[in-house]
Structure 1
Amino acid sequence: MWWKDIYVSASAAWLGRREDVWDAVAEGRYDAAEAARDEYHAVRVADDVHPPDMAVAAARLAVERSAVPTGDFALVAHASVGFQGRDHWVPASYIQARTVAGSATALDIRQASNGGLAALDLAASWLAARSESRAALVTTADRYGLPEFDRYRSDNGLPRGDGAAAMVLSRGERAGTTAVARLLSTVLSGDSTHEGAYRGTRPWGEPRAGRTVPVDLRARTREYLATGATGDAVVAALTAGQQRALKQALDEAEVKADEVARYVFPNGRWWNSDLDADRTTWEWGRQVGHMGAGDQAAAFTHLVETRAVRAGDRVVLSGAGVGMNFGCAVLEMLQIPDWETPGNAAGTWVEESL
């Protein structure tokens, strides 16, 4: 979809403390051969902060940076992958109550690691389709701790990092004068051929309260491959879907691949292997770990905070999620604000009671 007057007014991220992956190897929590192959330096760990509060911290900073009045927000969209602290509950409403409040609609989005881009596309569509809507808040947050998830062993090749990200989208002529970037295009697509690759073949499980072992995505993939599918076919479908979404988004934005200053892929080695490192955010991502739905917004924030992009640069946000679902967004930088990178993650979070 090509967008005419949708803007990114601001963004922000909240990251847990840094944990060196080789410390995890020394403690027997991460296989040494896998660590060498995966090529991460560190992941982020949130010890005592739960995902909704991470999202609140990131959202408050993004809203503050945007200078968009809270009364302008018509949508709060929260994307996540794992457990958010309560079953049968809507984290987006919690985030809304502690940030923009008001009468905005609050929606939770579950599209795995593509959730952040799905939320971005939804927010842009929401604003474009409703002339009275002026702004939307998009958030992501996840924590990958035991006993539910083993950040080093539950999956292959993607050690997980804890954190949150937020973006403020706005529309109209006024928004364009103060925004950080203009949204040129977004694309969402899917290919459910290998939907079972992360589901496996076992019967449906028990409620979360009865879970005593961490999620084992590796076992699910082995089960699926035992049905006759091949790993090469799964990887090929994943790669092809991501590339199709990326090409379509560039075509709709009328931007050529060599005109893109920075590509933001999921925080994983193999996603970033076909481009020079200085055109991706992998050097940052390998210090963070895979955040699930938040890699793209958090990496974009990093680019702006470190002034690694300039006005006029085109930036691509590309993603994929199990299922399989794919997303891509193309942005044009308008100005580089003087944002400071938050120092200590805990310092950006203020506990509040319900």
Structure 2
Amino acid sequence: MRLPAPLGLSAEAWYPADRQTVEEALACGDVDARTARDLGYTSLPVSEKTAPPDMAVLAARTLLARTGQNPADLGQLLHACVHYQGHDAWSAPHYVAHTLGAHDAVPVGLLQQCNGGAIGIESAVARLLADPDAGPALVTTADRFLMPSWHRWKSDYGMAAGDVATAVLVDRRTADADLLLHAVTTTVAAELEVMHRGEDGLNENPLSHSPMIDVRRPKRHFVRTYGTPFFLDAAARRITAAVTTCLAEAGLAPDDPRLRHAVLPRLGTKALEEAYAPPLAAATSAPQLDLGRASGHVGAGDLNASVADLAAQDLLAPGEFALLLNGGGGFTFTAMVVSAPQR
């Protein structure tokens, strides 16, 4: 999506106080040594006491207070998640809006798997561009991965899951924004939805296929049926298209010296090296940046947490750009170009 003018992004990530180090996970048998090496994480944040919607509220309150944004002036609140939010037949986005006092913001829930936060930003941008009267949008994500429904180290291949919430304010005002958003592009590989379904039928009730969420089982079926190269080829073509298009829409050449970082998703090291790093390197010469070793994969919020880190850690000098890349089961792949504003 080509923007007629940059939009402002400000972001916060909320991390719980508790962590499980990889050494602790090895000692208690949560992960084996080979898998730990393939993942490359040093620790995972763990939220035993705070439910995901409350995690999102904590991230959002910090962001709104820092930016001086009145929640009553928000036009939209988009909330993305991967896992259970704490109640059944209930709307977490409305809870977040209600708790924040964002009474005029339209709450929208996003089920885009691990790309939900990125799609939330893209959706917020589309609304702001389409409606000149729309107020700023708040995009929140929050996930926690607790047993017995989800084993943060064993429920999936290629990642281990950390409990993190994010909040991103998308606004026409840019003067005080953390970053400027120049372009966002999403590509789709819907034929890959079978990777998370396998040969399973569509059951009547949650957790009917297994008492614990087990993404490894359908992935094994996918590999047996289609082969790993089928996924890697499909992903590479969509990643290349997303990155190439996004850079062009931001007015940047792939080797532009102002492009300081190409930010990777927060997946395991081996998964990144196989699926994401090669097509990203083919599409841009920007140095690749991995911000996820101490967070793990944070559900729907990988890209949004990286937006927060780019700003909080001063990883961009004024006038420098970063490209952020993310993907989510289904599959969708999103590329986004941001820059640090000139103060």
Same fold per TM (> 0.5)? yes
Listed one character per residue, the Cα deviations across residues 309-329 of structure 1 (whole Å, up to 9, x for unaligned) are 221111212111111111111
Paired with 1:257 and 1:154, the residues of 2 have a C-alpha distance of: 36
Paired with 1:40 and 1:217, the residues of 2 have a C-alpha distance of: 19
**Alpha-carbon contact 1:72-1:134 (below 8 Å) kept:** yes
Paired with 1:110 and 1:209, the residues of 2 have a C-alpha distance of: 17
Paired with 2:289 and 2:149, the residues of 1 have a C-alpha distance of: 29
Where does 1:47-86 land on structure 2 (aligned, <5 Å)?
A: 47-86=48-87
Gaps of 5+ in 1: 337-354
Paired with 2:325 and 2:25, the residues of 1 have a C-alpha distance of: 29
Shift in alpha-carbon separation, 1:179–1:75, aligned structure 2, 3 A = same
Paired with 1:158 and 1:39, the residues of 2 have a C-alpha distance of: 9
Paired with 1:41 and 1:212, the residues of 2 have a C-alpha distance of: 29
Correspondence 1:7 to 2:4: no
> Which deviates further from its counterpart, 325-334 or 258-267?
258-267
Where does 1:307-326 land on structure 2 (aligned, <5 Å)?
A: 307-326=314-333
Paired with 1:72 and 1:9, the residues of 2 have a C-alpha distance of: 16
Q: Percent same amino acid among aligned pairs?
A: 28
**Alpha-carbon contact 2:9-2:181 (below 8 Å) kept:** no
Gaps of 5+ in 2: none
Paired with 1:321 and 1:306, the residues of 2 have a C-alpha distance of: 25
Q: Report the alpha carbon displacement of residue 206 of structure 1 after superposing the two structures with TM.
A: 4.6
Other-structure match for 1:122: 123
Other-structure match for 1:265: 264
Q: What letter matches 2:266 in structure 1?
A: N
Q: Report the alpha carbon displacement of residue 178 of structure 1 after superposing the two structures with TM.
A: 1.9
Aligned counterpart for 2:195 among listed residues 172, 194, 197? 197
**Alpha-carbon contact 1:265-1:295 (below 8 Å) kept:** no
Paired with 1:316 and 1:9, the residues of 2 have a C-alpha distance of: 14
Listed one character per residue, the Cα deviations across residues 120-177 of structure 1 (whole Å, up to 9, x for unaligned) are 0000011111111130000111011111111111111201111111100111xxx122
Aligned counterpart for 1:237 among listed residues 229, 234, 239? 234
**Alpha-carbon contact 1:149-1:214 (below 8 Å) kept:** yes
Q: Report the alpha carbon displacement of residue 31 of structure 1 after superposing the two structures with TM.
A: 1.4
Q: Report the alpha carbon displacement of residue 210 of structure 1 after superposing the two structures with TM.
A: 6.6
Other-structure match for 2:27: 26
Listed one character per residue, the Cα deviations across residues 296-321 of structure 1 (whole Å, up to 9, x for unaligned) are 11122122212222211112121111
Number of corresponding residues: 330
Shift in alpha-carbon separation, 1:77–1:331, aligned structure 2, 3 A = same
Q: What letter matches 1:285 in structure 2?
A: G
Q: What letter matches 1:15 in structure 2?
A: Y
| Aligned alpha-carbon RMSD (Å) | 2.0
**Alpha-carbon contact 2:20-2:44 (below 8 Å) kept:** yes
Listed one character per residue, the Cα deviations across residues 80-128 of structure 1 (whole Å, up to 9, x for unaligned) are 1111111221111111112242211100001111111100000001111
Q: What letter matches 2:312 in structure 1?
A: E
Where does 1:1-354 land on structure 2 (aligned, <5 Å)?
A: 1-16=1-16, 17-171=18-172, 175-208=173-206, 213-226=211-224, 228-259=225-256, 260-268=259-267, 269=269, 270-271=271-272, 273=277, 279-282=287-290, 284-334=291-341
Paired with 2:101 and 2:254, the residues of 1 have a C-alpha distance of: 37
SS in 2 for 1:176: coil
Q: What letter matches 2:193 in structure 1?
A: E
SS in 2 for 1:3: strand
Q: Report the alpha carbon displacement of residue 50 of structure 1 after superposing the two structures with TM.
A: 1.0
Shift in alpha-carbon separation, 1:248–1:9, aligned structure 2, 3 A = closer
Shift in alpha-carbon separation, 1:215–1:194, aligned structure 2, 3 A = same
TM-score in terms of structure 2 length:
0.90
SS in 1 for 2:213: coil
